[in-house]
Chains A and B, each alone.
Chain A
Amino acid sequence: EELINGDKVFRIHAESESHIHALKELERDVDSGLDFWTHAVSTEQPVDIRVPHSRLYALKDFLKKNNIPFTVIINNVQELLVREREEMVRNAE
């Protein structure tokens, strides 16, 4: 079972073209393990990324280094998944 305990979802607010450029570069790195739920397109649209626990510090460092503001909108994705699966089991019963 793939456990994603500790995965968070970041909402990133690009404020300049250089932020967008940096986020696009990040997205191109397929080894990063990041799951882009929305993509870096403009300063008007936030970018949501599911971040594996093992990548949290690397991403935070990256964002801080590039001065890109972000918030955490889901603290632990696995918790939501567990809740959802419990409900599925109850419904199946």
Chain B
Amino acid sequence: VERQTKSFNFAAYHDLETIYNFMDTLVASHSNLISKVNIGSTYEDRPMYVLKFSTGGEKRPAIWIDAGMHAREWISHATAVWLADRIATDFKENRAPVPSILSKMDIYLMIVANPDGYVFTHRSPNEFYRLWRKNRSATSNPKCNGVDLNRNWDAEFSGPGASDDPCAEHYRGPFAQSEIEVQNIADLIMNHGNFKSFMTLHSYKQLLMYPYGYSGNDAPDRTELHDVATQASRALNSWHGTIYKVGSIFHIIEPASGASVDWAYQRGIKYSFAFELRDTGEYGFLLPADQIVSTARETWYALRYIMQYVCDHPY
């Protein structure tokens, strides 16, 4: 079967199998740049993949980007699919600044950070649950599956903004990194040891955030992070005029302990940011598919700014 990424419909939402097939096609089309890394399996035994963009070298400084940690935030997965293709084509066509970034750093892109949850949001007709957020692991309550993966990280776990009730949407899990999906990502990042930036894509209303989520106190690098995020949001705004709010997770969305960005920052990854992509107003988690590409493109401008900044400010 001949497969080409150029025939892929980026303006549509796709199921897990189609996204995984897309990744294989992309890797095959850009084998000099991209490899698919299997970082482990999910609770329901699905493989978890990361696309590694690298021009060579061992454990180069690296940038992490993930999407889809919350299953129902489909625009984040769809954006990450588009981003993967964009990074590959920009490199191939020598379009700045991707080649220069990749000459110094690697990019790790995880399109589906919560595969079990994502599959659950597609199940039909008997188990349809489009608005599922968590993973699907069993909990102490047999009636309530699932842990909120963005409350399960080892970052002030069990603090404010997380629930100890398995039936709650933001159930934190029984202990920090109890969830295999979180553990797999944490292991990859810690074993690598040279990540300089950590970015996670979510969706709800347009926000670009930095640590902390668990506390209203300023992070030590707050001033620099705020400046970088402000510039990134301006770059994003240049495409459609989409306005993003910039600030700490705690102050501009809600207190959230056990969040991935705090975990990364506490482990020395200074340039840690969380995006809440456009997905708001009339369409909470139901952004029309004809807005996927424009959302992805504006997000790319912000990500590109941050990646360039990280590249230019080694630490």
The interface of chain A, by Cβ under 8 A from chain B, is 1-2, 9, 30, 35-39, 41, 45, 48, 50, 73-74, 77, 80-81, 84-85, 87-88, 91
Interfacial chain A residues near B169, Cβ < 8 Å: 35-36
- Given A38-B204, A74-B284, A1-B126 contact (CB < 8 Å): yes
Q: Report Cα–Cα, A1/B123, bound state, in Å.
A: 10
In the complex, whether B286 has a CB less than 8 A from a CB of chain A is yes
Are B125 and A80 in contact, with the CB atoms below 8 A? no
Q: Total interface residues on B, using CB and 8 Å?
A: 29
The interface of chain B, by Cβ under 8 A from chain A, is 9, 12-14, 124-131, 161, 165, 167-170, 204, 253-255, 281-286, 289
Give B202 Cβ to nearest chain A Cβ, in Å.
12
Interfacial chain A residues near B167, Cβ < 8 Å: 30
Give A43 Cβ to nearest chain B Cβ, in Å.
13
Give B249 Cβ to nearest chain A Cβ, in Å.
11
Helix, strand, loop or mixed for chain B's interface? loop
Interfacial chain A residues near B130, Cβ < 8 Å: 81, 84
Q: Report Cα–Cα, A52/B126, bound state, in Å.
A: 19
Interfacial chain B residues near A48, Cβ < 8 Å: 284
Interfacial chain A residues near B281, Cβ < 8 Å: 73
Give B133 Cβ to nearest chain A Cβ, in Å.
9
Q: Report Cα–Cα, A39/B255, bound state, in Å.
A: 9
New contact pairs (20) apart from A45-B254, A50-B284, A81-B130, CB-CB < 8 Å: A1-B125, A1-B128, A2-B128, A9-B284, A30-B167, A30-B168, A35-B131, A36-B169, A38-B254, A41-B254, A41-B255, A45-B253, A80-B286, A81-B286, A84-B130, A84-B286, A84-B289, A87-B13, A88-B12, A91-B13
Interfacial chain A residues near B124, Cβ < 8 Å: 1, 85
Could you show 24 A-B contacts with beta carbons less than 8 Å apart? A1-B124, A1-B126, A1-B128, A2-B129, A35-B169, A36-B169, A37-B284, A37-B285, A41-B161, A45-B253, A45-B254, A50-B284, A73-B282, A73-B284, A74-B282, A77-B286, A80-B283, A81-B130, A84-B286, A87-B289, A88-B12, A88-B13, A91-B13, A91-B289
Q: Report Cα–Cα, A85/B13, bound state, in Å.
A: 10
Give A88 Cβ to nearest chain B Cβ, in Å.
6
Interfacial chain B residues near A88, Cβ < 8 Å: 12-13
Interfacial chain B residues near A1, Cβ < 8 Å: 124-126, 128
